[in-house]
Structure 1
Amino acid sequence: MNPDLINRLTPFREEALGRGIPPEDVDGWIAAARPSGTLVTGGDGPVVGRFGGPLLLPADAPDPWFPLLATLDCAALPEETTGLQLPPDGRLLLFGFPEMTYYGGSAGEVVYIPEGTPVEERNTKYACVYGAEGDQFDDTDTLAIHEQFPQEELRLAPDVSLPHHFLVRSPEGGDETVTLPGHPRAWDLAEVWDETYGDIVVDGPLHIGGYASHECTETDPVTDAAEDAQEARRHRADDTAELPAPEEWTLLAQWDIGLNGREGSTLHWVIPRQDLAERRFDRAHVSFFWNP
């Protein structure tokens, strides 16, 4: 990782050592740091996409159920900044809506459009917001949330990320959890990170790569979302194929929402690492967290 990013963790290291956490434990936590791209709506960083904007899709693509949140330029999001093997070109479209789902269902989707693919502007009323064709639908709360979706250019700021979580599922199975393996002081280190990261990381609404977080992070939100994706498959009679194990998934994007009526909520787009390497996005899963 870029040494400048590691140097930005100095306040975290000093605070952890000041609390009596052994240096080897602190350095082990820092060794787990990942690069991350924070996307902001101001500043002088390169433009890498935008919130909202026109919906541009191939003519044969189905109408998306969820509204478009952002369109990203893959070529402008290098692996050394995001830590992800994104496609070298083309556009990545993030769809989603901040609402609870049933039986682990996805709260959005990801669509990849390779460079040079013919597209046309699609004027659609998203079924998630307006209801499916022929439905009698009048959900004023849903409409009010969608009307607040941002409509701005997104600029890239290189960032650094450490785990917010400190527990993992027990190898014995079930709902039991254990301390993050290899990090006996994980709880203390995660607490220090939670109290210092605000002065270290870039303040922005959309994050690409890095570690996932939300307001009540104890276990990894990526692992939790991957388990939800598997549960959703079990509840679909026509789809019983097993997904990769939860530890084989990664964070694609995180939206820290902050809309009126959804304050403190988060959407996570997660994907199996192998799928990302193969530029396959149909199994990406979107999870919603809210602690109202």
Structure 2
Amino acid sequence: MSYLKPAEFVGVMIDAGESKAFMSTRDTVIRAFMAGAILALAAAFAVTITVQTGNALLGAVLFPVGFCLLYLLGFDLLTGVFTLVPLAWLDKRPGVNWRAVLRNWALVFVGNFAGAFTVAVMMAIIVTMGFSMDPNEVGQRLGEIGESRTVGYADHGASGMLTLFIRAVLCNWMVSTGVVAAMMSTSVSGKVIAMWMPIMLFFYMGFEHSIVNMFLFPSGLLLGGDFSLGDYLIWNEIPTVIGNLVGGLAFVGLTLYATHARTANPRPRPSTGPATRSEGPAENAART
């Protein structure tokens, strides 16, 4: 379980951001699609566990399996590229400009949404027996989540929007910490352990993750949740994307870069003169 020091894994972060900025459109979209799909399956898994056991903590403990799988397979989430790709621009890597950063973000967003929505349709088919019956318990729960985390915020107006935004900031603070934590180790076990902890935390705390929501809310709409597409976009997805960007970039990417890649000069040490020995009682007595 080899450990990389912060200065070393921050270099890995910058290299990863540069690589993603230059990745082909095809590869970027495929990797984003698979990341969105796998994370959506993990969310469906966690909701199913919670419904069937009545234990939300157990669902949160097991949810990170999806995140670990997609990371180890080399797939990309929007929340991760929010943190990594701008570091390559900040480090002045040749050819990395804001156009390349925004291109990567847009392609990953599209791919993540396509993957998550595909799984949402598949799960809707499963929980309604091919839309031939009312949703089962899991399907009903998916509809309730969509309603409580859209209309539930809207009922509180500006205060609800602020709460949504802060939950999104805290979410990607933890998710991006998981992305970075995986770079601290060179072993599979070390990466999994490091990723598991912050991902479990964000899910159990009910923080807002834009890609998980790309599954939960379309699922809710397909399964008869009492909210609209406009509610989903205005009272969840758009503020969540912005909050995820702020959380990952400000609290993980920029802070690690500032203190480990661009470390400030240390303060000067105080100069010390030659050591002097204080005279004891015997020396004082000899002088008299």
* Band the TM-score falls in, shorter-chain normalisation: under 0.3
Larger radius of gyration: 2
Higher RCO, Cα 8 Å, sep 6+: 2
- Calculate the TM-score normalised by the size of structure 2: 0.28
